[in-house]
Structure 1
């Protein structure tokens, strides 16, 4: 499976009125500044492995909170919040575990979005 470059998908997502409204708020920005990109991405790797990678994640469609961590905001902004969104936006089929390549790709999209969003706040 060929996944789109993060820049391409971010451009598509920026044209979605729903996805484009997400941005880090003061609480998440402060947490991000305290932790740094490397630690935040490490958290994201764990969240994806636990909440998104299984073939049938627990509470799929509702497993990603709407606030509280920069990764959660980024997941909603990048449509990597549930298996339904992954299927719709990335053509990654439901009902099968995510490969390591897919998990790494999702993290790269999240990191690209975080970088883009942080630039808006400078």
Structure 2
């Protein structure tokens, strides 16, 4: 499965969760991102909410330290969501 295919399925599944789909960037977040730039935001994005959610949504096993590849993947997922939110709020 390609990255694009996985992300499409991932965001569709998350979008079907009433709880998860309720989260959106606020205007102050958008302003901060616009001020700092996505490269700076990427360096500061650290994780998702907890390891149980990482296991559930991203299929990454509990009880092990995240590898560099897994960390980069999670940051990339977060950045993809932020970029989608930024596009959603363009007007």
Would you say same fold, with TM above 0.5? yes
User: CA RMSD, aligned part only?
Assistant: 1.6
Counterpart in the other structure of 1:29 = 30
Scaled by the length of structure 1, what TM-score is found?
A: 0.65
Matches within 5 A, 1:56-95: 80-95=48-63
More helix by share: 2
In 2: Cα distance, 1:7 partner to 1:107 partner: 16
Runs of 5+ consecutive residues of structure 2 not aligned to the other structure: none
Runs of 5+ consecutive residues of structure 1 not aligned to the other structure: 49-79
In 2: Cα distance, 1:7 partner to 1:23 partner: 18
Whether the 8 Å contact between 1:13 and 1:20 is mirrored in structure 2 is: yes
Deviations 1:33-62 (A, max 9, x none): 110111000111xx34xxxxxxxxxxxxxx
Scaled by the length of structure 2, what TM-score is found?
A: 0.86
